[in-house]
Structure 1
C-alpha cells in the first residue's frame, strides 16, 4: 500500500472507534530513541524513515513533526504522501500540543497506543483534552490492524558483560539504586528504560538494530528484584549469575502491566515520568503514593568508572586505527577505482571488523558525498548511492560497538582539490570543534553554558547548524545518552551539570543544501582540573584518535592558539595510532599529522 492508502485505512478505523485524532510517535514500550522493527509504526504510516518524529492524523489532515536533523530528508520522503511536514522549533510552526489543542473538536476523542507514549506526554494530552471536554482512548494500537506482515518482537538472545568490562557488579549497582530509593523516600522503583536495565544487570541484547539492548522491565524493591523478560533470551549461565547478584523473580515480558496493579497504599513508588509509558502508569493504583524523579541509573551509568574509561580509550585506539586506514585507502584510491557511498561504508566497517572485540556498528552509518552531506542524518541506499568523485567532500559519521565500549566519530574528507568555500567552511567547523575541546569551566556548568564556546565561530559569521553540538555516549549502549549534552536550546533531559567521567561528543557542522556538508566529531572525557578558592575547575580530554584532513584546512583562518591545539592533537594521534600501521600507512599518517 502507498502511504496515502495506509492513512485512508487508519481513518476508517478511527471513524469506527469514534476517534477524531490519532497520534503515532517514534517509540517502543520503553521510550527508546531508536526502536526495533516491530515498533516502527510511524515510519509505516508516513513513509519517513528518520529516527525521530511524531505523526498526528485527523480525519482530513496528516502531519509529521521532526527536528532540524531531518528537515531535508523528511521533505523529500513526504512528497506525494499527503503528510505535511512540521519543522519543530521553527518560527510560526505549532508544537504538537498546540496543534492538538487547535484541531481537536470540542468533545472530541484523542487516540493513541499508551504503551508507546510517555507518561509525561500522556498527561500533557490529558490536560488539552480536558479543556476540550473530550476523552482519551489509549488502549488502541490502530496501526497494528492495518500493518500486514508486521515484524514480530525480537527473540534474539542476551549476552553478558564481564566485570573486566563493566568495572562493577550488578549487586553493587543494586545497592546504589536502593540507596537512591531510600533518599527519595521510596520502597519500590519501576525501571522501564532499556539502557538503564542493561547497565544495571550487566547484560546486552540484540533487540534493536545497532543498539545492543534487550526488551525488559525491572521492579526493584527493598529486598527483591523482579525482571520481566522473555526468559528464552537468557542462558542458564546468565540467569544463574543474575540470581547470585540479587535478581529474585523472573516474569514474562508483558506481565509488568498486571504486576503494577499489585502495589498498595502502603507503597511509595519511584517512577521516571520521562521514561515510563502512559499505559503502565495508568495500571498503577491511584492510591499508591508516587515520587516522580529521574531514574538514578541515568546519572550512574553516564559517569563512567575507571575500568570503563580505560576500556573506552582502548576502543577508541582500535577505532582510530580503522578510521586512519580508511582515510589512507580513500586518499590513495579515489579516481583510480570506482568507490561509492555504500562501498566506502562497507570498507570502513570491514576495517573495524578486523579489530579485536568488534561487535557491530554502534548506529546506522552516515556516509554522504557532495550534496548528500548537507542532509544531516543521510543514509545511503541503493536508490541514492552515488560514486565518489574528486573535487568534493565526503562525510562519514560512523561508530562501532566493541566490548570495550561504543564509539562515534565524524570525519569530512577532501577528495582531490576542493573549492575555497569548502575549505573555509571546513576550517570554521574545525575552529568550533577545537574551541569546545579546550574549554575550561567551573564544576556546575552544563552543556547550555558551554555551547556558545563552540558556536561562536559560526555566530560571528551569522551562520549556525541546526542540531546539538554534542551528546552523551553510552558504554556499549545508546550512542545518545542522557542526562547532558551540548546545545543552546533548553532541553530538560540534557541539562544536568557535567560530571567527571562523562563522555560527550563534540560535533559542530555546516550544511549547504545542494552543495556540501561538513561535520567534525571527536569524543570528550570530562575530567577534574585544579581546585582552588574559586571552585573546582573542569576540562575535557579528547579520546578520539584519527587525523583531521589537512587538505581541507585553510590555515590563514586559524589563530596561533588554534593551530597549536590542532598540532598537539595530531601529535597524539600519530603517537597512538602509528605503531599499528604498516610502513606506507605510517609515512602517510606522518604527513597528515604534520604541524601547520
Structure 2
C-alpha cells in the first residue's frame, strides 16, 4: 500500500473503534530512541524514516512532528503523501499537546497504543484533554491491525560480556543498585529501558539495529530478580550464569500480568518517563510509586577505569579505520567511481579489519555536497549520488567493538571549496577544539559549557539547529543520558559532568541546498587539580582522526587554537601511524602538519 492508502486504512479502523485522533510515536515498548522493525509504526504510516518523530492522524488531517535534525529529510519524504510537516520548535508551530487541545473537543476520543507512550506522557495528555471532555483509548494497536506482513518481534542471541570488558561483575552492580533501593526505601525496582537492563546484567543482544540490547523488562527486589524476555534468545550457558546469580527468566509479555500482583503496601521505584503507560496503569491502586530516574542511569553513564581504557583502545582502532578511509577517499576521488553508498561500504571494510569489531554503532551518514546539509541524512539506492572532486563529504559514523562504542564525524575536502566554506569549516573546528579543551569547576553541566562550541559561529551571527553533544554508552546506545551539551537550560538538561562520563563534542553548520559541516570528537571527563576553589575538571579526547587542513584558515584562528589543533594532530600521528602502511603514513604526516 502507498502512504495514502495506509492512512485511509487507518481511518477506517479509527471509525470502527470510535477513535477521532490516533497518536503514533516512534517508540517501542521501552522508550528506546532507535527501535526494531516490528515497532516502526510511525514509519509505516507516514513513510518518514528518521529516528525521531510523532504522527497524529485525524479523519480530516494527518501531521508529523519532528525536530530540526530532520526538517529537510521529512519535507522530502512527506511530499505527495498529504501529511503535513510540523517543525518542532519553530515560531507559530504548535506542539502536539497544543494541537490536540485545540482540535479535540467535547465527546471526542484520542487513541494510542499504551505500550508505546510513557506513563508520564499519558498522564499529561489525560490532564490536558480531560478539561475538553476528551476521552482516551489506550488498548488498540490500530497500525498493527492494518500492517500486512508486519515483521516479527526480534529474538537475536544473547551474549554475556566478560569482566575484562565491563570492569565490574553483574553481582557487584546488582549489590550497588540494591543499596540504592534501600536508601530510597523502595521494596521493588521496575526497569524497562533496554540499555539499563543490558548494563546491569552484563548482557548484550541484537534486538535493535546497531544497538546491542535485548528486548526485556526487569523487576528487582532485595531477594530476587525477574527478567521478562524471550527464552529462545538465551544460550544455555548464559541462562545458567544468570540463574546462578539469582535471575529468573519469565515470558516477555507476562510483565503486564505480573505487576498486577504487587501488594498494596509495597513501594515501587520506576521512571514514569521511561516505563510505558499500560505497564504502570496495571500496577494496583494503593501501591506507592516512587517516580524517579532509573537507579542505573548514573552508574551506567560514569564509566569505570577499565571501560575508559578499553574505549581508548577502541578509538585507536576506529581511528586507524577512519584514517585509512580518508586517505583512500582523497586519493581516489575523480579517478574511480565512488558514491555515497560505495564509500560507506569501503569504510565498513576498514572497520571490519579491526580486531573485536562487532558492527556499526548507528547507520552511517556519508553525505556529499548538498546532502550534507541534511543533518541526519543517510544514503539509499534512491538518493545515492556520485562523489566528485569538489566540495565536502560529511562522514558521521561509528563502530561497536568489545572495547566500546565510537562516534566520529569528519568533513572531508574532495577538491575545490569556496572561501565561505573554508570560513565556516574553520569556525566549527574552533568551537569543537575550544569545548574539548575546556577546564572547569566541578558542578558544571553541559549547558554551562555549550557556548564554547557555538561561540565562533555566534560571532558570525550563525548557529546550528541540534545539540552540541550527547553521552555515549559502552557497547550500548550511541546516544546515552544524562550528560550532554545543549545551550538551552531546560528540565532534564542539568546533569553534572562527572569523571568517567563520555560525551560527544560535535558543533556544525549547514546551508540548505549548499553544504554541511560537522566536526565531532568523543571526550571523557577527568579530574584536574583541587584548589581552595574546589575540584577542577577537564576533558581528554578519545577520538584520534585528523581534521582536513585543506579547508582550515589558520589566520582565522587564535594562536592558542592553532596550538590546540597542532597538539591534537601530533597525538593522532603518534597513535595511528604505527598501524598504517608506508604510503598512508607519509600522507598522515602531511595531513597532521603543524600550522
TM-score, length of structure 2 as denominator length = 0.99
Q: Report the Cα distance in structure 2 between the residues aligned to 1:394 and 1:171, rounded to whole angstroms.
A: 46
Q: Give 5+ residue unaligned stretches, structure 1.
A: none
- CA offset at residue 265 of structure 1? 1.3
- CA offset at residue 273 of structure 1? 1.1
| Counterpart contact for 1:395–1:412, Cα < 8 Å | yes
Q: Report the Cα distance in structure 2 between the residues aligned to 1:106 and 1:223, rounded to whole angstroms.
A: 49
| Counterpart contact for 1:482–1:493, Cα < 8 Å | no
The 5 Å alignment of 1:12-411 reads 12-247=12-247, 249-411=248-410
Q: Report the Cα distance in structure 2 between the residues aligned to 1:510 and 1:174, rounded to whole angstroms.
A: 44
Secondary structure in 1 matching 2:284: coil
Q: Deviations over 1:249-293 (max 9, x none)?
A: 210000000111011112100010111001001000011001110
- CA offset at residue 107 of structure 1? 2.2
Q: Report the Cα distance in structure 1 between the residues aligned to 2:458 and 2:177, rounded to whole angstroms.
A: 43
Secondary structure in 2 matching 1:296: coil
Runs of 4+ in 1 over 6 A off after TM superposition: none
| Counterpart contact for 1:169–1:245, Cα < 8 Å | no
| Counterpart contact for 1:484–1:493, Cα < 8 Å | no
Q: 1:491 to 1:41 in 2, by over 3 A?
A: farther
Secondary structure in 1 matching 2:470: strand
1:582 aligns with 2:581: yes
Q: Deviations over 1:476-533 (max 9, x none)?
A: 1000001120011245344211111000000000001111100000000001111111
| Counterpart contact for 2:158–2:204, Cα < 8 Å | yes
- CA offset at residue 540 of structure 1? 0.4
Q: Report the Cα distance in structure 1 between the residues aligned to 2:343 and 2:549, rounded to whole angstroms.
A: 20
Q: Report the Cα distance in structure 1 between the residues aligned to 2:593 and 2:249, rounded to whole angstroms.
A: 58
Q: Which residue of 2 aligns with 1:522?
A: 521
Q: Report the Cα distance in structure 2 between the residues aligned to 1:72 and 1:215, rounded to whole angstroms.
A: 32
1:500 aligns with 2:512: no
| Counterpart contact for 2:105–2:133, Cα < 8 Å | no
Q: Report the Cα distance in structure 1 between the residues aligned to 2:108 and 2:59, rounded to whole angstroms.
A: 12
Q: Report the Cα distance in structure 2 between the residues aligned to 1:125 and 1:497, rounded to whole angstroms.
A: 30
Secondary structure in 2 matching 1:116: coil
Q: Report the Cα distance in structure 1 between the residues aligned to 2:489 and 2:119, rounded to whole angstroms.
A: 20
After alignment, is 6-15 or 365-374 more displaced?
Answer: 6-15
Secondary structure in 2 matching 1:525: strand
Q: Report the Cα distance in structure 1 between the residues aligned to 2:580 and 2:3, rounded to whole angstroms.
A: 50
Q: Deviations over 1:459-478 (max 9, x none)?
A: 11110100000000000100
Q: Report the Cα distance in structure 2 between the residues aligned to 1:387 and 1:9, rounded to whole angstroms.
A: 39
Aligned-residue RMSD, C-alpha: 0.8
- CA offset at residue 79 of structure 1? 0.6
Q: Report the Cα distance in structure 1 between the residues aligned to 2:138 and 2:498, rounded to whole angstroms.
A: 38
After alignment, is 187-196 or 448-457 more displaced?
Answer: 448-457
- CA offset at residue 583 of structure 1? 1.1
The 5 Å alignment of 1:353-502 reads 353-502=352-501
Q: Deviations over 1:78-106 (max 9, x none)?
A: 11111111111111111111111011121
| Counterpart contact for 2:108–2:133, Cα < 8 Å | yes
- CA offset at residue 442 of structure 1? 1.1
1:595 aligns with 2:594: yes
Q: Which residue of 2 aligns with 1:557?
A: 556
Secondary structure in 1 matching 2:321: helix
| Counterpart contact for 1:482–1:494, Cα < 8 Å | no
Q: Report the Cα distance in structure 2 between the residues aligned to 1:175 and 1:354, rounded to whole angstroms.
A: 39
Give the paired residue count: 595
Q: Report the Cα distance in structure 2 between the residues aligned to 1:244 and 1:498, rounded to whole angstroms.
A: 36
| Counterpart contact for 2:69–2:465, Cα < 8 Å | yes
Q: Give 5+ residue unaligned stretches, structure 2.
A: none
Secondary structure in 2 matching 1:523: strand
Secondary structure in 2 matching 1:9: helix
Q: Which residue of 2 aligns with 1:536?
A: 535
Secondary structure in 2 matching 1:492: coil
